[in-house]
Amino acid sequence: EDKVVQSPLSLVVHEGDTVTLNCSYEVTNFRSLLWYKQEKKAPTFLFMLTSSGIEKKSGRLSSILDKKELFSILNITATQTGDSAVYLCAVVPGAQKLVFGQGTRLTINP
């Protein structure tokens, strides 16, 4: 069965810190891995990764995929209170449906 595991499940840091969120997976027919940010409602798209070793970057957020070791990380530098959210990792095992992890709840304290 396809499986995605995120760690840590919860993280509390101070504004300005750098955080690394982890996502490991076991899926058949891997197509891609996606990161979403979820505040109080719909998940909003951050990154889609398909190739190993190529970093995707958007402002203070970046992500990379390792298809050999079956994991991805999401980095956030110089965190701000607006980064507080649940970060979801999902993999696509062929039929374009998303298989999600539990999410990491990130809290940034001022």
Partner 1 sequence: DTGVSQNPRHKITKRGQNVTFRCDPISEHNRLYWYRQTLGQGPEFLTYFQNEAQLEKSRLLSDRFSAERPKGSFSTLEIQRTEQGDSAMYLCASITSGVRTDTQYFGPGTRLTVL
Considering only residues 84 through 103, tell me which ones interact with partner 1, judged by CB under 8 A. Answer: 88, 90, 92, 95-103
79 vs 104, beta carbon nearer partner 1: 104
Residues 6+ apart with CB under 8 A from 59: none
* Single residue of 4, 65, 76, 106 touching partner 1 by CB under 8 A: 4
Nearest residue (CB) to partner 1, 1 versus 69: 1
With CB under 8 A as the rule, give the number of residues binding partner 1. Answer: 24
Identify the helix (H) or strand (E) that includes residue 91: strand 85-92
Q: Which residues contact 107 (CB under 8 A, 6 or more apart)?
A: 10, 11, 12, 13, 84
CA 13 and chain centroid, separation? 17
Q: Which run of H or E residues covers position 104?
A: strand 104-109
Residues of this chain, 21-80, that bind partner 1 according to CB under 8 A: 31-32, 34, 36, 41-45, 48
- Give contact residues for partner 1 (rule: CB under 8 A): 4, 6, 31-32, 34, 36, 41-45, 48, 88, 90, 92, 95-103
